[in-house]
Amino acid sequence: MRRQKCAQCGTMLDISKLETGSKFACASCGAILVVGEATAVKKSLKESGPAFTPKDKAGSPAPAPAPSRRRPAEAPGGERGARRGAEGAPAKSKMPLFVGIGVLAVVAVVVIVLATGGGGGAGGGKAESAVEWWARQQGLLDTLSAEQLRGLVEEGRAKYGADAAFWADKEGRIQAALLRKDPSDKAANARAGNKDLREYPAFDAIWQQIEASKETPAELQDYFDALDVKPGKGLWLKPEKYAEATGKIEEFVAWKKKLDENPAAEPTERFIRTAKPMLSTGPRKVGFAPVAEAPFVLLIAYDEGDDGAKARDAVLGEGRKWGAALKLLREEFDRKIREPLGLQPVEAGKYYCDLVVPTADDLGKFVREGEGLDAAGDVPGFFSLRTKWAVLRAPGEANEKALFGGDVAHEAFHQLQWHYSNDPVKKFENYMEEWTGIWLTEGLAEYLGGGIDLDPASGKATFSGMPPRRIEFLRGMRDNGVPAVPVRELVQLRPDNYGKNLAHWIARIGDQDDLPEAASQWLGTQEGVTAKLLYSHGWLLVHFLHEADDGKYRAKLMDLALTAFRGGRKPERYRTDASVAEKFASPAEAFAEILGLKDEAQWKELEQAYLRHLKKVRGD
């Protein structure tokens, strides 16, 4: 083992692992030393020669040097030379004596410094303050060895340990530097009594997980972001802060385990936190029964009443059936839309909320307060462009319950539709404007969502693509002499004018002499008649394009859907210049160009095929 004595306090220090010439701090007094320097100082003193006449071992003066055989040079002429020759040998120089006295003075100063601890003691001089001591040490932390850092801890404790406010922070920084040198040295931390940092490596690993996890709960993320120190960069938390952080880490670990077991757990909790203030007002107590079916979380709100557990079990049973409808929707969407268009699956961990509220008043509240719109009226639900939630009113009578699975799937389709709409500016909002017909938006939702049949008893979901309520309405039109909405009329409808335009269409056909009186009376009895006309005929046109004549128009429907998802941009085959991202000007233009309708004869042929398909689905 190589050892070196501290030139200031005399402590013997281990320098086995240090290179000659490197700097280090004395573990006892903190003096900055250089490996090999103390030896060099001693050697230089020895070689400088004695400041007095040396003696032999017996104590007698050393023999005088032998006289030189060299003839002395003739002294310069003049009186001085004559005198020198007369007096004999020249006078002895006093310079060695002065040098010796100087060295003795330096030694005396060193002894005084050592005796006073380097800062002056009883004899006067200002003692080094704690702040000054730390100013000398902190710049050296990353240059010292683990052994030297341990010595620095001992020195600091001896000098400044009584000042807890000062020393706790400084020891933590030294220990952090020690752990950077040797992260596995838990024993050293235990010997030092630094319990707060024993689990530092685990703390560091957990922190890295938190920073890497995009799904970290917002409260935890905010907490760790607010800390002013980071692991691996001199982490030190005072005991009370460390205990708090450790509790947060345990919370994160529990959350991560729960997330691994149930990936929908975190988004479900987030959805509940958002929905609860809207429903739990006054004395009312609302519970939530979640059913996860990726990428959807079906969240069923219910009034707990006297027996919350019983109420929860009741709605959860229905919710599992509706969850089966959501699962089938995703499968049919993948098979009929996503895969033919070459779209990627919804990424893992991405969830959309489908909230079922207990009453129509609750639904109206979400519309008014959440969307800033008038009350929803007698509708089962809506998709929010603002929150991307689907909010639905729980079904009432048995007949409504039988259809509710299709209602949930209808609104969930709009969430998938929004997810895959990739217009870079306004995304789904652009989708819903001038260039895409609302017939496609609602027609696809009715075909893929409303076309799911749910057995109320078994909860088994099957896909038919034939929503019962839309077919029933089309039959009512037939039975009362109301003609079908023409394709050309339908594809020009927009979200902001479809009701007005359909009302004009009803007025126009009402002016015809051959329209039976029963037709006008029946249309007057239909609540929300324009919406029913839109949904029924939107479904009919989508079903026609996908199913008619063994899928003759199916590729055209896919082009229309792709156009919608791309914000109105034309598929490449319809561009005049493939290098330019051209857009369709209107829904009618998009439909006519993609379907290849260039003249009236082609429009007429399509209308006739459409009406033949209508008769088929009505069972005429």
Residue 434 clears pLDDT 70, i.e. is over it? no
- Reported as a single tens digit per residue, the pLDDT across 158-170 is 888 888 767 877 8
Q: Which of 432-441, 444-453, 524-533 shows the lowest per-residue confidence on average (mean pLDDT)? A: 432-441
Report the pLDDT value the prediction gives residue 576, as an integer from 0 to 100: 84
Q: Which two tokens stand for residue 522?
A: 């029946």
216-223 contacts at long range (C-beta below 8 A, 24 or more positions apart): 216/252, 217/252, 217/255, 217/266, 217/269, 220/248, 220/251, 220/252, 220/255, 223/248
Report the pLDDT value the prediction gives residue 211, as an integer from 0 to 100: 61
Q: Which of 210-224, 234-248, 528-542, 560-574 shows the lowest per-residue confidence on average (mean pLDDT)? A: 234-248
Res. 79 pLDDT band, cuts 50 70 90: very low
CB-count burial class (<10 Å; 0-12, 13-18, 19+) for 432: buried
Parse the chain into domains and list their residue ranges.
1-48, 199-261, 268-405, 421-620
Residue 94 clears pLDDT 50, i.e. is over it? no
Q: Which of 22-31, 324-333, 442-451, 570-579 shows the lowest per-residue confidence on average (mean pLDDT)? A: 22-31
- Reported as a single tens digit per residue, the pLDDT across 534-576 is 999 999 999 999 999 999 999 999 999 988 888 778 888 888 8
Calculate the average pLDDT of the chain: 76
- Reported as a single tens digit per residue, the pLDDT across 281-294 is 778 889 999 999 99
Q: In Å, how far are 198, 213, 253 from 209, measured between CA atoms?
A: 19, 6, 10
- Reported as a single tens digit per residue, the pLDDT across 296-332 is 999 999 998 878 888 899 899 899 999 999 999 999 9
Which bin fits 78, alpha (ψ -120 to 50), beta or left (φ > 0)?
Answer: left
CATH topology for the 1-48 domain: Rubrerythrin, domain 2 (2.20.28)
Report the pLDDT value the prediction gives residue 109, as an integer from 0 to 100: 39
412 touches 354 (CB < 8 A): yes
Residue 68 clears pLDDT 80, i.e. is over it? no
CB-count burial class (<10 Å; 0-12, 13-18, 19+) for 314: middle
More confident residue, 84 or 135: 135
**pTM of full prediction above 0.75:** no
- Reported as a single tens digit per residue, the pLDDT across 145-199 is 888 888 888 898 888 888 876 787 787 778 777 766 775 565 545 444 444 443 4
